[in-house]
Structure 1
Amino acid sequence: MEIITGVERRRRWRAEDKLRVLAEAAQPGARTSEVARRHDISRGLLWYWRRQLRQGQLRVHDAPEPMFLPVEVSDAVPPGPVTPTASLDPRIEIALPDGTCVRVGADVDTAALRRVLSVLRR
């Protein structure tokens, strides 16, 4: 139960809160009316937020905008002797603007690579 004293005014919802409520409503078996009631909002507002999300109008503003980085594909052979195992092991080389270079083999764990790259961005 919520008791409001004084003049009632509109609540201001942060994008993070809207997205959290939308994620809750998107769970398997969730009912829109129950989620709306639990957060004391109308079902219409929940549908409005869903439309905003679909149209790209609702997003977390702190997240960096996605961007493309230049990629250079090269067939150049690195200096030094080439061993047969090196030529059979496909690797990706990620060169960052500050000169840092990360070489990744095909067997790298995605979560580990994500952690390494997040540290390098700081």
Structure 2
Amino acid sequence: MEVLSVTDSGRRRRWSAGEKIRIVEESLSRPRNVALTARRHDISRALLTRWRKDYREGLLGDEPALTFAPVMIAAEPAPVAAPPAAELESSGAVTVAITLVNGRHIVVPAEIDPALLGRLLPVLDGA
């Protein structure tokens, strides 16, 4: 005869918010990594998918959800002639020169609104 205590909870486990966040971030580290991460931590893919959704919505703890931006690093930049920026230089304003992946150049004032620059760059890059 087996005696079960009231405290036995079967297979149900409790995960802290920190553990959930760590597991979700591990699943986000590479594309198509959900099933592998779920198997590694012995949880279902559905549960991990739910945690990922909660993570994106900022519901997995007090920390705001992280967002990722794709970055591409060129092995060796091609030599490019400096773009003409006589108008901005003659005014004495501090400028920033940006060379896009497609070879286009843009020179903007250093005080430019980041939101405006964020909307402008994808248009110039052709994305």
TM over 0.5: no
TM-score range relative to shorter protein: 0.3 to 0.5
Normalised to the residue count of structure 1, the TM-score between the two structures is: 0.40
Normalised to the residue count of structure 2, the TM-score between the two structures is: 0.39
